[in-house]
Amino acid sequence: MDKKLLEILVCPLCRGKLVYNQETEELHCQVDQVAYPIKEGIPIMLTDKTRAIINEE
């Protein structure tokens, strides 16, 4: 994941910081406890494509 892109991207739900999870290739929002998938290097920032990460980390 490009570090500069990660600095620019925010969670579409809360505008909070996202954390890259290399193992799952997802961007995680700790505030909303959701993960956004990354497909072929492109973050999918659609709220209907999120996955709950409650109690996962």
Q: Which CATH number fits the domain that encloses residue 17?
A: 2.20.25.10
**Is 13 a member of any domain?**
yes
Model-level pTM?
0.88
**Is 48 a member of any domain?**
yes
29 CB neighbour count, 10 Å cutoff: 21
**Is 31 a member of any domain?**
yes
Q: How many domains does the chain have?
A: 1
Give the structural domain span for 36. 3-52
Q: Widest CA span of the chain, in angstroms?
A: 28
Q: What pLDDT does residue 1 have?
A: 82
Q: What pLDDT does residue 4 have?
A: 94
8 A C-beta contact, residue 42 and residue 1: no
**Is 57 a member of any domain?**
no
Summarised one tens digit per residue, pLDDT across range 4-57 is 999 999 999 999 999 999 999 999 999 999 999 999 999 999 999 999 997 655
- SS3 category, 17: strand
